[in-house]
Amino acid sequence: MTTAQVEVDNEALKKATRKGVVAAVLLAVLTIIEFFIATGLENPLIPLLPFVVIKGWIILDYFMHVRALWSEDH
Question: In the Cβ-directed half-sphere of 45, how many Cα atoms lie within 13 Å?
Answer: 1
What value does the mean pLDDT take over residues 35-50?
96
Q: Is residue 64 part of a domain?
A: yes
Q: Which residues contact 45 (CB under 8 A, 6 or more apart)?
A: none
Q: Is residue 30 part of a domain?
A: yes
Count of the separate structural domains present in the chain: 1
**Which residues span the domain enclosing 42?**
13-70
Q: What is the pTM of this model?
A: 0.78
Q: Is residue 2 part of a domain?
A: no
- How confident is the model at residue 1, as a pLDDT? 56
Q: Is residue 8 part of a domain?
A: no
CA geometry: angle at 21 spanning 15 and 23, to 5°?
105
Question: Mind listing the pLDDT tens digit for each residue in 44-73?
Answer: 999 999 999 999 999 999 988 888 888 776
Q: Quickly state the pLDDT bin for 32 (edges 50, 70, 90).
A: very high
Q: Is residue 42 part of a domain?
A: yes
Q: Is residue 47 part of a domain?
A: yes
